[in-house]
Every structure is written in structure tokens, then in C-alpha cells.
């Protein structure tokens, strides 16, 4: 197809290596000779192009899965009639492109082998990055939905299901020379979804795949992706966007960054500074945390592929979702509230977050109600306070994947701090008492599960400032709010953003102290 050829021939930033080894297992679709039997192939380092599939699992009980028992059978012959319609469609499409190998997780990872799952989930970055093309079943909520089903759109923004209408052309007139006139609805849903950001929940019906956390890295990491959207096919590569109706060729979209994908891949390919890489990571976490998960235990594995791409890029060690050399800025996250979507198993939440350090965003259960935001530092910039120092940092990974959960983590820091008493919390404002009856009302993001009590003793640790600029009339101080634990260690209970004045009133009585953070 022309999009693939143009990308291969004209996009300098989209070139991939022709000598890339296949993933551990792939579907072998045959060599084009009859009979064209399908089987699971253990590749043993075989080099060849392959297609990867990004899709929604839907109901896992209805999913056809590779297991230790089925693998030997399906290595000989994978029966066509047990495959859901989506998998059948992708196989047909892959064969049309004359590509022999296809990767999809349900059939290429042993779903009843935890060690195989951990090992292969850690390889997601290379699997999607090295694919010749990733096919995204963007419109399908499950594998029971066809890749080539009826296309539809909505006439009015925000309309419910009754507002759906087919995008098929309708004959409305005929000229005297027997030329026909056809019209179709104007397409807009795909354009809005792919150009704007932070709008996944607004497109849950036309782009269900893009609301899913697992699909986030599957969209970011491939060099080129073909989306089968409810309205039309959309091409997304490092160099740009294209669509069937050619709206993206309009001058309104010229030179427009391709969402986060372009900045991520280009930053990782070039000699980006640690500061630039750090901001990209904060953007990744902010976007990712607002997406849906069925199992909270998947949250760290589902972003580990992206994290692994940052490894070795001057950010130091990866510690529970944060980077060693950028730790001060990484500590400045806020927890936000979002509409309940009820897609996480509540029984799974405490078990996986309890062992995570309170100073990391990984300790926040993203149970459909909470999201993580780094917008304060993304929009205002960040400069580390002179007194803030990291004295000790270590962690013990929970699995062989170093970019997943941790069993334990230790952090000792030193910085300017003030003692305070919690007085009241109203909406996003915190009233604290410092010194002799000095009260301050500040913008405060309280961490979930903190359960602050009236007159509870707190400590505000200054981490950094927003960057001064001639374009900004206000600058801010960024602090993490701590509460002492029985073990004499301190637990993070929130994030404080205070306007910085010439006198720096809030921290005028600060002293430099050392904290062991739990």
C-alpha cells in the first residue's frame, strides 16, 4: 500500500533495520504455497520482517490462548475455526502484504506460565519497535469484532449511540450527462482523537483500544502503525499522520507534532539532554496514568517497554517509576481525580501497591478514580533547590524485569524543611500552621489513603522551583508533604505548590534536615 512505500522510501526517521531477529514465538502463516497451514513457530533467532497486532482482549474467558498444553499441538497446526474474527482478519491482511510472520500476545506468550509472561512482557519494547508494521484494531473492543466491519461516525459531538450513522456514500442527484453525485457524512472523530491529547475517554466508543493502558506503549513504540478506526484507516508513523479522507494533508496539520510518539522516538534516537529526556518521561507517566486497566498488577509491566527505552540515556537507574538523576523533579507529581470508569479489579489494588514506596507515583492505586499528573512542572519548568540532595537510593525489583514493580525501596534525602500542622482541607486548598500562629492557605494535592487528621504534625520538604521567565508573572515552590511513621521514617502524604514571593514567607523559618522516606 502507498503509505508503507512512502514511509519506507521518503521518511528518513522511519527507517528500520532489515536484520532484526523475530520475537521468541510468532505465527507462521506459510510461504504462499498450498496448503497454507498456520502454526506457532519458536524462532531461535530467525531474521525476517513481521507484523505485530495491538488489540483489546475483551473478556479473557472467551480468548483463545497459548498454554503449555496447547503449544505442542499448535506448533504443528493452529486450527482456523478456533480463531476469533479479528485474528482471522489480521492473518488475511498480513498475507495480502506478503508478510509471513505475525505476532500477537495471546498466541505467542504462554498465558499459564508466569515466567514466560514476565520474560516476554519485558521484551515488549523490542517486539513493537522492531515490527515491520503494527496493526492496531483501534475500533474493536474485543477480538470478536471484525477489523473490516461497518464504518460509522457521529453527526453531532457528544451524541449517544442513536447518533451513529454509516459513512457510506449516498446518491443524491444525477447530471444530464449521466454523471452521478454522491455525498457522505464529514469525518471528524478520527481527526480529533489523533491530533488532540488527553481525550481518550471522549472516544471510548470509536477508539476503545486507545483507552487501554497496555495499548499505550504499543502505540508509542512502533515506527509505523496502521489504525483501523471506526471511521477510516489512519496511518501513524514517526514522521506524520495520514488518513483515507486526506484531511491530515490539510495545511492546518502541517508541521504539527505527532502526539507524544514523535518526541519520544526522536529523543531516544538523538543526543537529547537528560533534562529533555526527563520531561518526555513525565509526559509519558501523565498520559499513561489516565488509561484503563483490568488488572492493577499489570500497570508497571504495561509501561516497562517504554521505560526500558530510556535506560542508558543519562538518566541513571530506574527506581520504582522514577529516574535516579532526575529524582527531584520526578518526586513532584500530583494525584488527580477522574470520572469513575470501574475497569480495575479492586481486590487487586492494595496487594500490588502496598509494597511500593510512598514517594513514588507507583504507590498510587489507579483504580479508575485517580490519575497522576506532572503538569505543574511540565508547564512551569523545574529547577532543583540548592539544599535538596539525594543521599541514598536503592531498590529490590520484584521480578526479573527491572522496569516493573519493586519489593522494597530506600530513599534518604536532605533539604530545607518546615514543620507544620494540618488544619483543614477544602477542595484543593490546604491550610497549615507554621511557627507561632502563622497560617498559610496553599494549593495542595493530597495523596490517596493519607487520612490526614486535624492538628496532625506534618513536614514540608522543599524540592525545587518553577523556572523564572520573562513570560511568566508568577513562580512557584514545589514541596512534598511528609508525615512521620512509627518507625521514625517519613511517608509522603501530598504535594504542595506555593507561590514564590520575594520574601519566601512559607520557608523563611526552614532548616536543612535529613529524612529517611518510606
The cell for 504 is 519566601
Q: pTM for the whole thing? A: 0.86
Per domain, the residue ranges of the chain are: 2-153+181-266, 271-517
Q: Are 100 and 92 in contact (CB under 8 A)?
A: no
- Taking the CA atoms of 146, 149, 153 and 159 in sequence, report the sign of the dihedral they define: negative
**Gap between the Cα atoms of 85 and 263, Å rounded:** 35
pLDDT at 341: 45
Residue with grid cell 449517544, as numbered in its chain: 160
pLDDT at 351: 61
pLDDT at 245: 85
Where are the alpha helices (H) located in 109-183, listed in sequence order? 114-121, 124-129
The cell for 31 is 510461504
Where are the alpha helices (H) located in 357-455, listed in sequence order? 375-380
Residue spans of the chain under pLDDT 50:
251, 254-255, 340-348, 427, 502-503
The cell for 512 is 536543612
pLDDT at 424: 64
**Gap between the Cα atoms of 303 and 281, Å rounded:** 11
Question: How far does CA 155 lie from the centroid of its chain?
Answer: 30
CB atoms within 10 A of CB 386: 10
**What phi and psi values does residue 487 have, to the nearest 5 degrees?**
-80, 10
Contacts of 206 (CB under 8 A, 6+ apart): 139, 152, 153, 154, 189, 190, 193, 229, 230, 231
What pairs with residue 430 in β-bridges?
A: 425, 442
pLDDT at 465: 92
Q: What CA dihedral angle connects 295, 298, 302 and 308, to 10 degrees?
A: 170
| pLDDT tens digit sequence for 51-73 | 999 999 999 888 999 999 999 99
pLDDT at 35: 61
SS3 per residue for 298-335: HCCHHHHHHHHHHCCCCCCCEECCEEHHHHHHHCCCEE
pLDDT at 343: 45
The cell for 171 is 446518491
Amino acid at each position: 500500500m502507498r503509505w508503507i512505500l512512502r514511509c519506507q522510501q521518503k521518511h528518513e526517521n522511519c527507517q528500520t533495520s532489515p536484520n532484526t531477529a523475530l520475537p521468541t514465538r510468532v505465527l507462521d502463516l506459510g510461504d504462499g504455497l498450498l496448503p497454507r497451514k498456520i502454526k506457532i513457530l519458536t524462532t531461535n533467532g530467525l531474521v525476517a520482517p513481521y507484523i505485530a497486532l495491538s488489540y483489546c482482549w475483551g473478556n479473557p474467558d472467551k480468548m483463545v490462548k497459548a498454554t503449555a498444553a496447547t503449544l505442542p499441538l499448535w506448533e504443528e497446526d493452529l486450527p482456523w475455526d478456533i480463531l476469533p474474527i479479528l485474528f482471522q482478519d489480521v492473518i488475511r491482511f498480513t498475507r495480502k502484504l506478503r508478510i509471513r510472520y505475525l505476532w500477537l500476545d495471546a498466541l505467542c506468550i504462554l498465558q499459564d506460565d508466569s515466567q514466560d509472561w514476565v520474560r516476554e512482557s519485558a521484551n515488549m519494547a523490542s517486539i513493537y519497535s522492531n515490527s515491520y508494521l503494527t496493526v492496531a484494531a483501534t475500533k474493536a473492543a474485543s477480538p470478536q469484532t471484525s477489523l473490516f466491519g461497518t464504518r460509522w461516525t457521529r453527526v453531532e459531538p457528544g451524541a449517544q449511540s442513536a447518533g451513529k450513522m454509516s459513512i457510506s456514500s449516498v446518491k443524491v442527484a444525477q447530471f444530464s450527462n449521466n454523471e452521478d453525485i454522491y455525498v457522505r457524512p464529514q469525518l471528524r472523530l478520527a481527526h480529533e482523537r489523533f491530533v488532540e491529547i488527553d481525550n481518550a475517554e471522549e472516544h471510548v466508543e470509536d477508539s476503545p483500544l486507545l483507552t487501554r493502558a497496555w495499548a499505550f506503549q504499543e502505540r508509542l513504540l512502533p515506527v509505523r502503525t496502521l489504525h483501523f478506526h471506526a471511521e477510516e484507516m489512519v496511518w501513524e508513523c514517526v514522521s506524520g499522520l495520514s488518513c483515507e479522507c486526506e484531511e491530515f494533508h490539510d495545511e492546518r496539520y502541517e508541521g504539527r507534532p505527532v502526539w507524544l510518539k514523535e518526541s519520544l522516538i526522536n529523543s531516544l534516537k538523538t543526543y537529547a539532554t537528560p533534562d529533555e529526556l526527563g520531561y518526555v518521561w513525565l509526559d509519558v507517566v501523565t498520559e499513561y496514568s489516565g488509561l484503563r486497566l483490568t488488572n492493577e498488577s499489570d500497570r508497571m509491566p504495561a509501561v516497562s517497554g517504554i521505560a526500558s527505552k530510556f535506560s542508558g540515556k543519562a538518566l541513571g537507574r530506574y527506581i520504582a517509576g522514577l529516574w535516579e538523576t532526575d529524582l527531584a523533579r520526578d518526586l513532584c507529581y500530583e494525584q488527580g481525580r477522574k470520572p469513575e470508569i470501574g475497569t480495575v479489579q479492586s481486590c487487586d489494588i492494595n496487594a500490588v501497591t502496598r509494597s511500593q514506596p510512598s514517594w513514588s507515583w507507583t504507590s498510587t492505586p489507579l483504580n479508575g478514580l485517580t490519575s497522576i499528573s506532572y503538569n505543574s512542572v511540565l508547564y512551569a519548568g523545574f529547577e532543583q533547590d540548592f539544599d535538596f540532595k539525594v543521599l541514598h537510593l536503592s531498590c529490590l525489583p520484584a521480578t526479573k524485569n527491572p522496569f516493573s514493580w519493586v519489593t522494597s525501596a530506600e530513599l534518604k534525602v536532605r533539604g530545607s524543611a518546615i514543620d507544620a500542622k494540618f488544619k483543614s482541607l477544602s477542595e484543593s486548598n490546604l491550610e497549615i500552621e507554621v511557627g507561632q500562629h502563622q497560617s498559610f492557605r496553599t494549593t495542595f494535592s493530597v495523596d490517596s489513603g493519607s487520612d490526614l487528621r486535624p492538628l496532625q504534625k506534618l513536614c514540608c520538604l522543599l524540592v525545587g522551583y518553577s523556572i523564572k521567565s520573562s513570560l511568566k508573572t508568577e513562580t512557584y515552590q514545589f514541596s512534598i508533604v511528609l508525615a512521620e511513621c512509627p518507625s521514625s521514617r517519613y511517608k509522603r502524604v501530598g504535594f504542595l505548590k506555593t507561590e514564590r514571593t520575594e520574601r519566601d514567607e512559607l520557608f523563611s523559618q526552614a532548616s536543612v534536615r535529613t529524612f529517611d522516606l518510606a
